[in-house]
Amino acid sequence: MKDQPLSAINARAAEWIVERDRHDGRLPAERQLLLDDWLRASTLHRVAFLRLEQIWQRADRLRALHVAPPAQDIIRTRTPALKVRMPRFTWWPASRLVAGLSLALMALVMVADFHGDTHAQRHATARGQRESVRLADGSQLTLNTATTLRTAVSEAAREVWLDRGEAFFDIAHDAKRPFVVHAGRQTVTVLGTKFSLHREGDRLRVAVLEGRVQVQPARSRPAVLNRDDTALADASNVLVARQAPQQVSASLGWLRGKLEFDQVTLAEAAAQFNRYGRKQLVIQDEAAARINIGGIFDADNVEAFARVLNLGFGLEVQTEGDTIRVSSPARRGKPGRTEP
């Protein structure tokens, strides 16, 4: 089966739910077989169907095929500043009725995506903090520095919204309830695995320690990642690369409070340190920024890292309040210097 964008999958799931509801919850046998085939075809199909089914039930089935106050209230209470026009259905042919109700349900889905689940629990860490969260299904989440996410676990679905930052996911296996992470315009779906996500605006970095995950951008086909795969995703693309196990482990050094660098530029290393502490590294010139750095460092001890730059690389280091400025020596051969 050809992979489809998530929007198309959601639209088809909405059509199935509305059609089933019009038959009082029991599709004709031949239609039920088609629905069963569609659900078996992809985990994404099952996830979309279960999620929309929950939203549909909360909207009180749009009051017997009319857009009733409960559905409208959901939109008003969740989005006081967001105007969503809901169609009115009176004496419509069945096909137009199904299509119109599907659009109404998709409007509710957009609202839910915009605000997250109303029953979701919010978890957040400040700069330099880490926090572990155990979910009701037995899954364990670890939030890295400056991270915000929301979780919602029910009998029908397991969802997380990664609003910013980085987290490690150790997911309990449950074939009937795929675990879905929404990160901006990307969706990550798993059954049971260990992986990390790092959201940087609209970009998402993925590293898989165990198992498999499926990354679904908003506007392109999904990509399946296996153990030791990493990926960089945005709304349109997923770039997947196979890494050595030690490289994936190094990217998760923050779980131990460490930053592990394998010949990265000083500019990249500084950016990583700056995520964790109040003191910020500022690289003053391009020559210093291009220096390659390797080693394991304490994420919360940027001063020790600065001393290594001074003593090991001969760079000049000056501290001014919460800013540590690093630059190349003024003259070649001149020893580096550091000022407290």
Whether 207 and 262 map to the same domain: the answer is: no
CB atoms near residue 207 (< 10 Å): 23
Q: Do both 294 and 224 map to the same domain?
A: no
Owning domain of residue 215? 121-249
Instruction: Report the C-alpha gap between 332 and 150 in whole angstroms.
Output: 52
- The structural domain count of the chain equals 3
Distance, in Å, from the CA atom of 2 to the CA atom of 159, rounded to the nearest integer, reads 25
Token pair, residue 58, equals: 């909360």
- The per-residue pLDDT for 53 is 75
pLDDT at 220: 82
* Residue 265 counted as domain residue: yes
pTM above 0.85, yes or no: no
CB proximity list for 119: less than 8 A, separation 6 or greater: 152, 154
- pLDDT digits (tens), the chain, 340 positions: 556 677 778 788 888 888 888 887 788 888 888 888 888 888 778 777 877 776 666 655 444 444 444 444 443 444 444 444 444 444 344 445 445 555 555 555 554 444 444 457 999 999 999 999 999 999 999 999 999 999 999 888 899 999 999 999 999 999 888 899 999 888 999 978 999 999 999 899 999 999 999 998 888 888 999 999 999 999 889 999 999 998 899 999 999 999 999 899 999 999 999 999 999 999 999 999 999 999 999 999 999 999 999 999 999 999 999 999 999 997 444 444 444 4
Q: What is the CATH number of the domain that holds 317?
A: 3.55.50.30
Residue 28 lies in a domain: yes
- CA-based max dimension of the chain: 87
141 and 242, same domain (yes or no): yes
